[in-house]
Amino acid sequence: MKGKKKDKNSGAVIESDVKEDEGEEEDEEHGILVEWNRLYKGRALTPSRIVERLRDNPTEDDIMFKYDFLTLFMNTMVEINKDGRCKTDFLECLGEDVAVEDVNWCKYICDRIKMSKDGWQRDSTSKYFNGALTILVMLYVDRTLCGDINTVRTLSPLSFWTKEMLSRRQIWEIKNGGFGKGVLREGYVDTQVGVEHVMKEDKMKNVEQMVDEYGGEKKNVTFEFVCG
């Protein structure tokens, strides 16, 4: 059964699969969150404190690790709190009846990205952008074409867009009139299809090379395409 809970401060909705046979009492819903909060008593919760705890517990893989990872990811990659403290409101939307892996995190992150411009003003020194900048950069470079960089996807965006490739893309755009002038790429192409396309192009080049080596003479050249 699909369930929805709203983050009371951000307004974003968290969708998840709710198990019907488990209770929804208030104490049960917040039991894990209370226990997790006890791990960080005494000082303000910051990303550095979470990193420190993860380093001190390298083999931990229980629900506490999941809460640590989610909080660290949300507060570094999705939305940064301007005072440096971690936002944990989204954790209140979870409970004993909601498994972390069943939550529609993609939708939640997309909702947060849409809201991230609220309160931001261009060129302001006090109202700066604190949203999902890394994710937006990844979407931008992967969904637009500039020159001959990544014209055919043969790797996932996270694998292809290394620091070196981002630097190459940046240099190309600056030299060719600035950012935001690339061509919007069409829909995603299946990785295997992309690989086969490149392989076929390479094989055709081999055929042309063989023909050139024969001096343009007509020869019986047999070439077989092998498709997986």
The predicted pLDDT at position 69 comes to 93
pLDDT tens-place string over residues 52-70: 999 999 888 788 999 999 9
The predicted pLDDT at position 53 comes to 94
Name, of 26-40, 90-104, 137-151, 163-177, the range with top average pLDDT.
163-177
| Burial status of residue 212 (CB atoms within 10 A of its CB: 0-12, 13-18, 19 or more) | exposed
Whether 96 and 173 share a structural domain: no
Whether 32 and 90 share a structural domain: yes
Quote the crossing angle between the two packed helices 31-38 and 63-73, to the nearest 10°: 80
Whether 65 and 146 share a structural domain: no
Integer CA distances (angstroms), 1 to 21, 86, 135, in order: 11, 31, 30
More confident position, 70 or 222: 70
Q: Which helix (H) or strand (E) holds 95?
A: none
pLDDT, the chain, mean: 75
Whether 204 and 175 share a structural domain: no
Name, of 84-98, 158-172, 211-225, the range with top average pLDDT.
158-172
The single-letter code of the amino acid at 153 is R
pLDDT tens-place string over residues 154-211: 778 888 889 999 999 999 999 988 888 888 887 665 555 545 555 555 555 655 565 5
Whether 223 and 157 share a structural domain: no
Calculate the CA 74 to chain-centre distance: 11
Calculate the CA 2 to chain-centre distance: 24
Whether 20 and 56 share a structural domain: yes
Whether 204 and 142 share a structural domain: no
Residue 20 domain boundaries = 2-115
188 three-class SS: coil
Instruction: Please check whether residue 123 lies inside any domain of the structure.
Output: no
The predicted pLDDT at position 115 comes to 87
Instruction: Please check whether residue 194 lies inside any domain of the structure.
Output: yes
More confident position, 7 or 52: 52
The share of the chain scoring above pLDDT 90, in percent, equals 22
Whether 166 and 202 share a structural domain: no
The tally of domains found in the chain comes to 3
Whether 201 and 226 share a structural domain: yes
Whether 106 and 15 share a structural domain: yes
Instruction: Please check whether residue 41 lies inside any domain of the structure.
Output: yes
Q: Residue 216: which region, alpha, beta or left (left: phi > 0; alpha: psi -120 to 50)?
A: left
- Read off the DSSP letter of residue 124: -
Instruction: Please check whether residue 124 lies inside any domain of the structure.
Output: no
Instruction: Please check whether residue 122 lies inside any domain of the structure.
Output: no
Instruction: Please check whether residue 53 lies inside any domain of the structure.
Output: yes
Structure-token match 């086969």, residue found: 196
Instruction: Please check whether residue 75 lies inside any domain of the structure.
Output: yes
Whether 62 and 101 share a structural domain: yes
The predicted pLDDT at position 75 comes to 93
> HSE on the CB side for 165, CA within 13 Å?
16
Whether 100 and 10 share a structural domain: yes
pLDDT > 70? residue 25: no
The predicted pLDDT at position 20 comes to 43
Taking the C-alpha atoms of residue 172 and residue 61, their distance in angstroms, rounded to an integer, is 43
Instruction: Please check whether residue 159 lies inside any domain of the structure.
Output: yes
The predicted pLDDT at position 201 comes to 58
